[in-house]
Structure 1
Amino acid sequence: MWILVSYTLIAIGAATSSIEELVSHWRTRMVLAQTRARSALTIMTSLFLIAASAVVLTVTWSMRDEEAPLMADALLILAVVLLIRTVVVQGLDGSDRMLLCAGIGMASWANLQADGSWLGTVAWFGLFILLSLAYFDSGLSKARHRGWRVGRQFSLTLNMKEFGNKFTAKILLSHPRFAALASWGVILLELLAGPLLLIGGWASVVTGTLLAMMHLSIAVLMGLGRFFYPFAGALCFVIAVHPW
């Protein structure tokens, strides 16, 4: 069940990011000074990715079988289009990179696990390592920044005009000790995410739930919803397909 949920989240994330790219394309084209050819390729790639996402969603919930050959084929198509997207589309961010990693990891697992359990495990480890490094790098960069260590940067981030929540920021700025506690909670969770997810069992479930709640909070409070889908999808998959 949770494997199907992970497929769904990745497909929704791919479709959402492509729709956002189409909506903001003309402004992005002017900022990046794209040629007509590059602009046309970007639009075509976004449309193909939306179509591939729709195929994955249709196959996932019509068949409801993560081991079905058609499911593996649909995920492979999505992974190939995501790979093409990294070459064609400019201005991709961290959520897009995780979307690519998750898409390739899931497609590899779905296509290789039928040939031998160890091949599927290799695909799982590949996605697990990339996911763990993403969290560790984020946590380490925060731990090195004094503003994050004392909690003030956490408050200021939420106080941003473009991506923020004034009400929450006001509470954190008024209570610096609470801000520091919340900041260190995020830092420690990101630094320890890899080892805790590797343990398996309830440790992985609790860790994955806390990380998903963190991404959901970022989506609600800061409006950065596109980060939720790839990371939550990758977390669901890593926990559901855990080798022990």
Structure 2
Amino acid sequence: MISPETAHVAVRRVASLGTFVAALEMLSQHRRFGKDDLLGPQWDAFRTKAAARHPRLARVLKSKAVPVAAYAMQAGASAATFLWPRNRAVQAVGGAALASMRGTQRRWSPLGGDGADEMQNVINVVLAATALIDDRDKGVDLAMRALALETTMAYVASGVVKAVSPVWLKGDAFAGIIRTRNYGDQRVYRIVARHPALSKAVSWGTIAAELGFPLVFVLPRPAARLYLAAMAGFHLGIGQFMGLNRFVLAFCATHPAVDYVLARRASAPSAGSARRKELP
């Protein structure tokens, strides 16, 4: 059975790798951090009254150095939590720092986050909060269960949104996405264009897989682990063909937590066996 510590270390390291890669991606575009660029600080545009009252502070916050320093700190905190995943102080401070940096980034940038950013933020908050629990084992157990629940809700919510979309229900969503320049792959689109049934199969299959994710908690463990592996493959496919690589690390970081919950369920004695043990 997977131990809580093993699951915890896996979650922390994969999640830390995700925030580290995200920071490096942004730092690689540091030339676009100018005050008038979309990736640059837009603090004065969103806080016009504060900028007018504090012009010197506004000039500092509009500096290119602000996002460079913030993303460098994100990379440093991610590296620390990756290298020392069992250190509770690093877990608490690092997780809180990463969550705070995400909140700070929202203050200066007009760009919204995506599902990967939000999942990473949830992981950081959960691991930072549970690191403060005196009983380490209880804290880790609570963290793993909370992340398993969050993952399940994220998949189901995504499935519900797709299930009420006419484009997804018609089965045209995958073809529409895979043909785009930003999130597509022309090689795959040419295949889908020749075989429209593939788009329907992928679109409907995605809805079914996401809505059906709670089944992992009632299926026999081998089948449940196969389901979990299929979802990991789903994210790898998204990373490969749509370029959303950070989704792989963000969502797959929570899979060890789900596997831990599955293992705990499998090892728990059934009510019938417990009663039999009590009989003389």
CA distance in 2: counterparts of 1:14 and 1:121, whole angstroms:
23
Confirm whether residue 198 of structure 1 aligns to residue 217 of structure 2: yes
Letter in 2 for 1:34: Q
Q: Is this contact kept in 2: 1:108–1:120, CA < 8 A?
A: no
Higher percent of residues as helix: 1
2:82 to 25, 49, 57: 57
Confirm whether residue 20 of structure 1 aligns to residue 40 of structure 2: no
Instruction: Report the CA distance between 1:73 and its aligned residue.
Output: 2.3
Q: Is this contact kept in 1: 2:70–2:101, CA < 8 A?
A: yes
Confirm whether residue 102 of structure 1 aligns to residue 123 of structure 2: yes
Letter in 2 for 1:37: L
State how many pairs are aligned.
233
Change (3 A) 1:205 1:43: same
Letter in 2 for 1:228: V
Which runs of no fewer than 5 residues in structure 1 stay unpaired? 61-67
Q: Is this contact kept in 1: 2:81–2:94, CA < 8 A?
A: yes
Instruction: Report the CA distance between 1:116 and its aligned residue.
Output: 5.8
Change (3 A) 1:229 1:116: closer
CA distance in 2: counterparts of 1:87 and 1:59, whole angstroms:
24
Q: Is this contact kept in 2: 1:152–1:173, CA < 8 A?
A: no
Q: TM-score, normalised by structure 2?
A: 0.74
Change (3 A) 1:19 1:115: closer
Which runs of no fewer than 5 residues in structure 2 stay unpaired? 1-5, 44-59, 266-280
Letter in 2 for 1:192: G
Confirm whether residue 177 of structure 1 aligns to residue 193 of structure 2: no
Q: Is this contact kept in 2: 1:113–1:120, CA < 8 A?
A: no
Deviations 1:149-185 (A, max 9, x none): 2321111101111121111112122212222112111
CA distance in 2: counterparts of 1:108 and 1:128, whole angstroms:
16
Task: State the partner residue of 2:61.
Answer: 37
Q: Is this contact kept in 2: 1:3–1:241, CA < 8 A?
A: no
Confirm whether residue 236 of structure 1 aligns to residue 256 of structure 2: yes
Q: TM-score, normalised by structure 1?
A: 0.84
Which aligned segments of 4 or more residues in structure 1 are displaced greater than 6 angstroms? none
2:176 to 146, 156, 175: 156
Q: Is this contact kept in 2: 1:3–1:240, CA < 8 A?
A: no
CA distance in 1: counterparts of 2:114 and 2:26, whole angstroms:
12
Match of 2:200, SS state, is helix
Change (3 A) 1:202 1:112: farther
1:86 to 102, 110, 125: 102
Letter in 1 for 2:133: L
Q: Is this contact kept in 1: 2:41–2:62, CA < 8 A?
A: no
Q: Is this contact kept in 1: 2:13–2:81, CA < 8 A?
A: yes
Q: Is this contact kept in 2: 1:82–1:103, CA < 8 A?
A: yes
Instruction: Report the CA distance between 1:206 and its aligned residue.
Output: 1.9
Task: State the partner residue of 2:89.
Answer: 73
Identity percentage over the alignment?
A: 23
Match of 2:212, SS state, is helix
Letter in 2 for 1:81: A
